Amino acid sequence: RRSCNLMIYGLPEHDGENIGTAVYEVSQSMGVVIPKTVDCYRVGKKQEGKVRPVRLECQNRGDVEFALIHSKRLKKSVKHCQVYLAPDRTKEQRQEHSLLVKKMK
């Protein structure tokens, strides 16, 4: 199930926001439309000074891979240059990935 989820980090959070519209704007910045999304919502407790990630649930893994392939276009975007996409990982997987990235540096 987690393989059909996509995490969006760094997307600014506003009171009364429409998260669906914000996700649509991110996909427009990538130049693609993410098809067949099931749901999208912020994850975690709201804390002052922190931006919660967005979990985007897709119908299939192919849509997640499609979005991840095109996510590097966000770096060139003026509005969403601080936003990045990642697959939905467990806490252990995130720690392993972090260690791998540190080793590669």
Give the mean pLDDT per block of 10 residues along the chain (105 residues).
88 87 85 79 90 90 86 83 88 90 89
- From residue 28, alpha-carbon distances to 31, 34, 83, 100 in Å are 5, 9, 13, 31
If you ran DSSP here, which 8-state letter would residue 2 be given?
Answer: G
Please, what sign has the CA dihedral across residues 40, 9, 7, 25? positive
Q: Model-level pTM?
A: 0.86
